[in-house]
Amino acid sequence: MNNSLVRFFKSDTGALILLLGVSAFLLLFGLGSRELWGAETRWANIALQMMQTGDYFDPYLKGMPYYDKPLPSYWLITATAHLMGGLGHWSLRLSSVLAAWLSVWLVYLIGRQLYSKGTGLLAGWFLATTFYFVFWARVATADILTVCGVLAAYWWYWRGPDDTRLGRYTVFFLMLAVTSLFKGLIGFILPGLLLLPHLLSEGRWKNHLNPRLLLAMLVGGLVYMVPFMLSHRYGTPTFGSNGLDLVFRENVVRFFQPFDNIGPIYTYLLYLPIYTLPWAPCWILGLWVAVRNWKHTEPNVRWLIGGLGLLFLFFTASGSRRSYYVLPLVPFAQLLAAWWVTRRMAAREAAGKASGPGWARGIAGAAAFLFLVIGVIYPWTNGGVLQFTQDVRAQAIKTAPWSEWRLVLVDVDNKLPMYLQNHGAPFYYVQPDSDIPLTGDSAALMTWLEKTSGQTWNPERTIIVEQYQDIKQLPLDYLSADHQLITTKPTNGERYFHSSENGSAAFIPKVKIAGGPVDGQAAAQASVQ
């Protein structure tokens, strides 16, 4: 039985199944345990407000218009949330995880197509055990979706690089359009730069300069415009933010006149090796070997290096630079790494030397390290906000079912809204530049709240949540006179590393219930809620 299993995993099909199975395990294990982190809080908040209000065409972040990215990346999350019964860690991150899993598969297919089955398989393993690729794959942003889209377009082109049929062109440009709808116009630009060296060699571009190409480009452009047209047609007239204006600002203005994320010019020279660890030495050596023997290097390798070089120059030329912007280069660097390793192994075998189990052990060690750090240790270190919201719910349902409470969020931590969901009821957000009273009593605050919101509020069923830097200087501390105060507790990571972040405070009304504590039936109902 064991021998049969070993033989199966040594076969082409078995080796691919093992790669995809281990990749899925690394991407999924502990996915629901880690608290929201970094940029994914924006995706969580925007998707949540879409679901709460039923408005899927006007993105809001904590109550304010925030058309930072095209709509489809949010739609993927909301669609998954509806299918899975609500917005949570799994439904939020699943689209990114699936894109990463498909990216591993696509790298295998590209490597097999351009080089050999062994190169494709090794490239897949390298990508699946690249620390920062797996890390970002488990974060709900549009970056890994973009990586997957670029790989899909690249793979589709190489299936028939000389095919000039309309159908092939149309599928290619549809892939570019969908990819660009996740993060920006780089979905069109990056595949073009990667394929440019091949198109320029031997005048191949001339074969593709035909009316069918132009028609397919038109179809792709129209598909790209659909979400923006829907937003304009069905969005709120008073929303005030235009998606196409955003496209120009984020993709053109930011490139030439950056207004944020301004890193030094050597940013990617530093971060490309870091983002390809632990396999960075392999592609660096592969690059050196290929360039040193350029005339004798296989054309497919030269085209890959040329495309990588153009991507690197493009990102470096942009004035807006950030470490994780380098992610689209990572799979192609690992393809180069796999080419060098398989070339070296073939040379050893030709010389009568065994390649040995070293690479397999290295990949297994990298996978174990990823599992331990990203799947176990990292989720264990956080959880402060999640515990805080559980404490708030537990205290609130002592008085009334959770569905009866309304929440006022005063410049809160971006992590909070998803964890404070209240059966789809929208929150009321108080912006940081508001004139909320910082002195007085709860009655004055409720009067101000009714005046500014135009809504009626029940003081006994309203929870006020705010963010603070110093627990001794709570902005709304005067509410403690007639409210129960609950604050965030240090996480395992904060206790272990002796660090701290801004905290959150919730003020829950101290309501006296006639006849004493909540009766058993009500308590049971509250627990269910």
Residue matched to tokens 């571009």:
205
58-72, 139-153, 260-274, 478-492: range with highest mean pLDDT: 139-153
Can you give the three-state secondary structure of 299-362, one letter per residue?
A: HHHHHHHHHHHHHHHHHHHCCCCCHHHHHHHHHHHHHHHHHHHHHHHHHHHHCCCCCCCHHHHH
Q: How many angstroms separate the CA atoms of 436 and 476, rounded?
A: 9
Q: Please give the structure tokens belonging to residue 16.
A: 């691919």
Q: What is the mean pLDDT of residues 211-228?
A: 94
End-to-end CA separation in angstroms for the chain? 50
In this predicted structure, the answer to whether residue 166 has a pLDDT above a threshold of 70 is yes
Q: How many angstroms separate the CA atoms of 389 and 377, rounded?
A: 22
More confident site: 254 or 96? 96
Q: What is the mean pLDDT of residues 82-95?
A: 94
Any idea what the Cα angle at residue 293 is, between residues 290 and 295, rounded to 5°? 105
Q: How many angstroms separate the CA atoms of 135 and 346, rounded?
A: 32
Among 511, 506, 498, which residue's Cα sits nearest to residue 480?
506
Residue matched to tokens 């009334």:
400
Q: Please tell me the predicted confidence (pLDDT) of residue 518.
A: 41
The confidence band for 171, taking pLDDT boundaries of 50, 70 and 90, is very high
| List of residues 6+ apart from 355 with CB closer than 8 A | 345, 348, 349
Q: What is the mean pLDDT of residues 171-180?
A: 96
Q: Please give the structure tokens belonging to residue 497.
A: 């590393």
Residue matched to tokens 């269910």:
528
Per the CB < 8 A criterion, the answer to whether 267 and 283 are in contact is: no
Q: Please tell me the predicted confidence (pLDDT) of residue 346.
A: 85
Q: At what angle are helices 330-350 and 117-128 packed, to 10 degrees? A: 130
Q: What is the mean pLDDT of residues 130-151?
A: 96
Polymer length of the chain: 529
Phi, psi of 345 (to 5 degrees): -65, -40
Q: How many angstroms separate the CA atoms of 35 and 17, rounded?
A: 30
Residue matched to tokens 């204006």:
245
In this predicted structure, the answer to whether residue 527 has a pLDDT above a threshold of 60 is no
Q: What is the mean pLDDT of residues 315-336?
A: 92
Q: Please tell me the predicted confidence (pLDDT) of residue 350.
A: 79
Among 405, 414, 484, which residue's Cα sits nearest to residue 442?
484
- What average pLDDT is seen over the chain? 88
pLDDT digits over 279-299, tens only? 999 999 999 999 999 999 999
Characterize 263-293 residue by residue with b for buried, 16 or more Cβ atoms within 10 angstroms of its Cβ, and e for exposed.
beeebbeebbbebbebbbebbbebbebbeee
Q: Please tell me the predicted confidence (pLDDT) of residue 318.
A: 86
The confidence band for 520, taking pLDDT boundaries of 50, 70 and 90, is very low
Per the CB < 8 A criterion, the answer to whether 169 and 212 are in contact is: yes
Q: Please tell me the predicted confidence (pLDDT) of residue 255.
A: 67
Q: How many angstroms separate the CA atoms of 264 and 222, rounded?
A: 37
65-69, 149-153, 241-245: range with highest mean pLDDT: 149-153
Q: How many angstroms separate the CA atoms of 127 and 334, rounded?
A: 6
50-54, 62-66, 124-128, 235-239: range with highest mean pLDDT: 124-128
Q: What is the mean pLDDT of residues 67-81?
A: 92
Return the sign of the alpha-carbon dihedral for residues 215, 220, 224, 227. positive
The confidence band for 9, taking pLDDT boundaries of 50, 70 and 90, is low
Q: Please tell me the predicted confidence (pLDDT) of residue 99.
A: 97
Q: What is the mean pLDDT of residues 339-343?
A: 94
Q: Please tell me the predicted confidence (pLDDT) of residue 226.
A: 92
Question: Residue 151, Cα to own-chain centre: how many angstroms?
Answer: 17
In this predicted structure, the answer to whether residue 198 has a pLDDT above a threshold of 50 is yes
Q: How many angstroms separate the CA atoms of 119 and 126, rounded?
A: 10
In this predicted structure, the answer to whether residue 511 has a pLDDT above a threshold of 70 is no
pTM of the predicted model as reported, rounded to 2 decimal places: 0.90
Any idea what the Cα angle at residue 340 is, between residues 336 and 343, rounded to 5°? 135
